[in-house]
Homo-oligomer: A and B are copies of this chain.
Amino acid sequence: MRSGASLSWPPATTSTQGVLMSGIDEVARRAGVSTATVSRALSGRGYVSDATRLKVAEAAAELDYVVSSNASSLASGRTRNVGVVVPSLNHWFFASVIEGAESALLRQGYDLTLYNLTGGGDERKSVFDHFLLRQRVDAVIAIGLELTEEEVSSLHAMGKPLIGVGGPIAGVFSLIMDDVAVTRLATEHLLGLGHTRIAHIGGDKEFDLDFHLPTSRRSGYEAALRDAGVPLDEALFRPADFTLPGGYEAAKQLLGSPHNRPTAIVASSDEMAIGSILAARDLGLSVPQDVSVVGIDDHQLAAFFGLTTVAQFPRRQGEHAVEALMQLLEPAADAPQSADVPLPYELIVRSSTARAPQ
């Protein structure tokens, strides 16, 4: 159970602090300047001569000085920390957005504190009523979450920037994909290969409550068919829950239908698309000879399954959210780019799609 170390800690001394914590005044003394100058030199805000800045930097390095973020935050009102709220961690999309945000924040010297709402209602309430309000974060990023007006306005009242990723939040700046266009592209790929009986596995109502993502994607699919003059067929739509097993079930139904079996499937997520591929196999149908499958995401397993998909680059979305935040948080920044560019997406053709049979 343990690797030879005892649980008690610190080893022997019970000093509250570690031993070698040098403070700003030690650095000041060593560099022969005032603490104010040290602060300015190290933080970069305010005028300091290059010579002084160098001396200070040296002194700080020699002493292994690291600012106390608490003292700094208390004095300045800025924490250099952002809160990230997610519904769950065990999802490729959320995890990827967080990874992107985390590395972008790290680069800026910011910390990321994570609030995972998997637990349920109580957790959510305490996060918004308590945790996010204790002056520990400068801003919050909400991923794949629809916030209530109350939640938005309490953050709002604290003067904390809030940015949404993966779904629009009423009255809040959000990064969202053009879901209509994405699904249209996937569908057009299939139409271009000569398919006309194209099924769609979309999200079910439950998901729609949050973001209308299922609806948007479905309308992209329908628009593509309409433009191509292909009649819509209710029987070719199946709702599912975005997971692999869900996609499997839905595809089984679609592909098992005795009449007019679809020759292609557009799934609203790669996991559902992979489930569809497995369902086809279990029915003895081959992909892509008998049925073509296209997903949306470019999930880590997509390549392995040879899945044709529309990539949506979630890591980049996380980075993007951070960049947008920085424009608000760091007025000094040279505003490298507006946050107003559309999120990129891209059709990646692999081996799960081919010319329509016959």
A residues contacting B by CB (< 8 A) are 1-11, 13, 15-21, 66-71, 73-74, 77, 79, 81, 88-90, 92, 95-96, 98-99, 102-103, 106, 111-116, 118-119, 123, 126-127, 130-131, 133-136, 156-162, 164, 168-176, 244-245, 248, 281, 300-301, 304, 324, 327-328, 339-343
Pick the most buried of A15, A81, A106, A113: most chain B CB atoms within 10 A of its CB. Answer: A106
Of the A-B pairs whose beta carbons lie under 8 Å apart in the complex, a sample of 14, sorted by A's number, is A1-B343, A3-B169, A3-B171, A7-B327, A19-B159, A70-B74, A71-B135, A88-B99, A89-B98, A90-B96, A103-B118, A111-B131, A112-B114, A245-B304
Nearest CB of chain B from residue A221's CB, rounded to whole Å: 22
Nearest CB of chain B from residue A340's CB, rounded to whole Å: 6
User: Is B116 within 8 A of A113, CB to CB?
Assistant: no
Nearest CB of chain B from residue A138's CB, rounded to whole Å: 11
Nearest CB of chain B from residue A11's CB, rounded to whole Å: 8
User: Is B340 within 8 A of A2, CB to CB?
Assistant: yes
User: Is A135 within 8 A of B70, CB to CB?
Assistant: yes
User: Is B106 within 8 A of A18, CB to CB?
Assistant: no
User: Is B114 within 8 A of A126, CB to CB?
Assistant: no
User: Is B90 within 8 A of A106, CB to CB?
Assistant: no
Q: From the candidates B103, B162, B327, name the one contacting A116 in the complex (CB within 8 A).
A: B103
Nearest CB of chain B from residue A128's CB, rounded to whole Å: 11
User: Is A90 within 8 A of B81, CB to CB?
Assistant: no
Q: A4-B170, A81-B136, A245-B304 are in contact. List 15 more A-B contacts (CB 8 A).
A: A1-B342, A4-B171, A7-B327, A9-B173, A18-B159, A66-B134, A74-B74, A89-B99, A90-B95, A103-B116, A111-B113, A111-B131, A111-B136, A112-B113, A113-B114
For the complex, give the distance between the alpha carbons of A70 and B78 in Å: 10
Q: Chain B residues near A156: list those with CB within 8 A.
A: 10-11, 18
| Number of copies of this protein chain within its complex | 2
Q: Which 10 A-B pairs have the closest CB atoms?
A: A3-B168, A18-B158, A18-B159, A89-B95, A70-B73, A69-B134, A113-B113, A70-B74, A68-B135, A66-B133
User: Is B16 within 8 A of A77, CB to CB?
Assistant: yes
For the complex, give the distance between the alpha carbons of A1 and B6 in Å: 53
Q: From the candidates B6, B173, B281, name the one contacting A281 in the complex (CB within 8 A).
A: B281
- Nearest residue (CB) in B for A130 is B66
Q: From the candidates B70, B103, B112, B176, name the one contacting A123 in the complex (CB within 8 A).
A: B103
Q: Given contacts A3-B168, A171-B5, is CB(A67)–CB(B134) below 8 Å?
A: yes
User: Is A340 within 8 A of B3, CB to CB?
Assistant: no
- Nearest residue (CB) in B for A113 is B113
